[in-house]
Structure 1
């Protein structure tokens, strides 16, 4: 088997935006052209619908690289894997709007560009919110849905909001190597109250060198800070459901996916199953990658 990775890593400017409308009454008449990376086999004749991976707030498609390779080799029939950078993250353009409606519009445009009319979608946190929003509005496109540690009912984004506030206060001196710049940012984040080393390392992957020689953040902090409250829940219309196979995977040490909300979630996603992984927090796919991969591969292969 030959596994190839094809990356669309070109930084896109906001001037490259083009019109794309899902609903003529939708106020978001433009989308952003999302950066993405694909993983696919060249020797498999029978293929299942592609799997689209959506990262969480302050993440990027690179967070999924190890799991992308696992999904590409372990899913049966084989699937093309597409890891996506959301707007205001990674290599995708910045935009003042950051809502689930806008994120869903971007995803719809990307699938159209890639000629994908059927796909399974896996999203973590904010990406899970986007996946749910998209599935409820475009159920005919979504084969299977996997939501990683996020609820359609309510989510406390207090920690993530605190991360945004801390990142805005970080000042990195000029003239440092990238490794030293990220170390300086990590030290300041610790001083600003982010005690978990893994989380600081995760945040500092967003440090970039600007064209003027200064250091900054790859993510669009002002837009994300303004929009944080909009991301705590998704807007669901009365009676709206997604009937397709759905898997919610939560961390046992996380408070995002609450057991008491499962009956209400079942009414929105009636064909849903729930798994909680021991020892995992909100970043389930990092904290317990092996267990997360096993559970999700079985689901994608029709065994859960």
Structure 2
């Protein structure tokens, strides 16, 4: 995937683009992750689909920002669509990216061909303050990984950065806390305001979603299918084969 960039409101945003003549699929990562996480999916979907994976504000190679509101993220997405002249894309989002995806679709339904929402619901009460323990610079990569712990470290490896002073994360934990708190609320209206085809994916071991809420999201919104896969919250990383199979099936139906 080629790394590219655009600017909005004084900030530089980085994204990965698999290129080609395939139909566009815009992929949005979770908090603390970055665009690189979707590189294997881009390879799997080529050449039928052109995968564009954004480093969202404060993540990856994009700039840190003064604020992380819902409006901030949605205007960033709008700028990406304008930059690439997209008007008929599929939006795929994991966690934070999933909220951004269905809220963007609610505001721009004419631009979205379909939605793939990966393990996130519509009534959010996020408390990400545990990430504050990861702040700072560490003498070695191993020390940083040890601080993060074995549960989360595998997901964050793309965000490890070596600096002249030592090892740190690409994101600022205090900014993640602000962003996480800004996602909280009842987003049923956004979810129900579109009717394009949607695939809702839930990990059977997820601590973020419940089967009951996902079933309600499926039954109350037209053209929505629920698929439960082995894994927890980051299914494209934990169970890439099953994730890829169900996504490819959904995209073929479009």
Please report the TM-score for the alignment, with normalisation by the length of structure 2.
Answer: 0.89
Q: Is 2:33 the counterpart of 1:59?
A: yes
Separation in structure 2 between the aligned mates of residue 240 and residue 201 of structure 1, nearest angstrom: 34
What does 1:186-197 correspond to in 2, within 5 Å? 186-190=145-149, 195-196=150-151
Residue 100 of structure 1 is aligned with which of 63, 66, 70? 70
Deviation at 1:209, TM superposition (A): 3.1
Q: Is 2:138 the counterpart of 1:172?
A: yes
**Cα separation, partners in 2 of 1:216 and 1:107, compared to 1, 3 Å:** same
> How many matched pairs?
254
Corresponding residue number in structure 2 for 1:118: 88
Q: Is the 8 A contact 2:215 2:226 kept in 1?
A: no
4+ residue stretches of structure 1 with deviation over 6 A?
none
**Cα separation, partners in 2 of 1:31 and 1:137, compared to 1, 3 Å:** farther
Q: Is 2:247 the counterpart of 1:296?
A: yes
Show structure 1 runs of 5+ residues with no match: 19-29, 174-180
Q: Is the 8 A contact 1:129 1:233 kept in 2?
A: no
Show structure 2 runs of 5+ residues with no match: none
3-state SS in 1 of match to 2:40: helix
Q: Hey, which of these two has a bigger chunk of strand by percent?
A: 2
Deviation at 1:72, TM superposition (A): 1.6
Separation in structure 1 between the aligned mates of residue 142 and residue 14 of structure 2, nearest angstrom: 27
Deviation at 1:221, TM superposition (A): 2.2
Residue 205 of structure 1 is aligned with which of 145, 152, 158? 158
Deviation at 1:271, TM superposition (A): 1.8
Residue 228 of structure 1 is aligned with which of 177, 180, 183? 180
Q: Is the 8 A contact 1:52 1:119 kept in 2?
A: yes
Corresponding residue number in structure 1 for 2:16: 37
Deviation at 1:189, TM superposition (A): 2.7
Please report the TM-score for the alignment, with normalisation by the length of structure 1.
Answer: 0.76
**Cα separation, partners in 2 of 1:208 and 1:61, compared to 1, 3 Å:** same
Separation in structure 2 between the aligned mates of residue 89 and residue 139 of structure 1, nearest angstrom: 26
What does 1:1-304 correspond to in 2, within 5 Å? 5-8=1-4, 18=8, 30=9, 32-41=11-20, 47-48=22-23, 50-73=24-47, 78-154=48-124, 157-158=126-127, 160-162=128-130, 164-168=131-135, 171-173=137-139, 181-190=140-149, 195-196=150-151, 199-210=152-163, 213-233=165-185, 235=187, 237=189, 241-262=193-214, 264-266=216-218, 269-278=221-230, 280-302=231-253
Deviation at 1:218, TM superposition (A): 1.0
Q: Is the 8 A contact 2:195 2:222 kept in 1?
A: yes
Separation in structure 2 between the aligned mates of residue 146 and residue 119 of structure 1, nearest angstrom: 11
Separation in structure 2 between the aligned mates of residue 239 and residue 232 of structure 1, nearest angstrom: 14
RMSD in angstroms over aligned alpha carbons? 2.4
